[in-house]
Amino acid sequence: MKPPDCLGVVGKCTDCENPVLEYLCNQSLLEVRPESKNFDYWFSCSNILCKNHSGGGSYGYYYDDWVELK
């Protein structure tokens, strides 16, 4: 299976200060995050122990409060 396409760092997590990564919502991502289905982008905290690791969906301009944009 191809890994999800990472677009890079969008900012940092306000809970743990780790980088928040953004991914393109495509088939590879859908296999690991079925809830990304209706979004264009998916962002998640890179710290697997963080509560924000599961992340959230975006259309490229909206991010959850825990993302401090760079």
For residue 25, how far is the Cα from the chain centroid? 10
Q: Which residues contact 13 (CB under 8 A, 6 or more apart)?
A: 19, 20, 45, 46, 47, 50, 52, 66, 67, 68
The least CB distance from residue 8 to Zn ion, in Å, is: 17
Q: Which is nearer to Zn ion, 30 or 53 (CB)?
A: 53
Q: What is the x/- site pattern for Zn ion, positions 36-65, by CB under 5 A? A: ---------x-x--x-x-------------
| Site residues (vs Zn ion, CB under 5 A) | 13, 15-16, 18, 45, 47, 50, 52
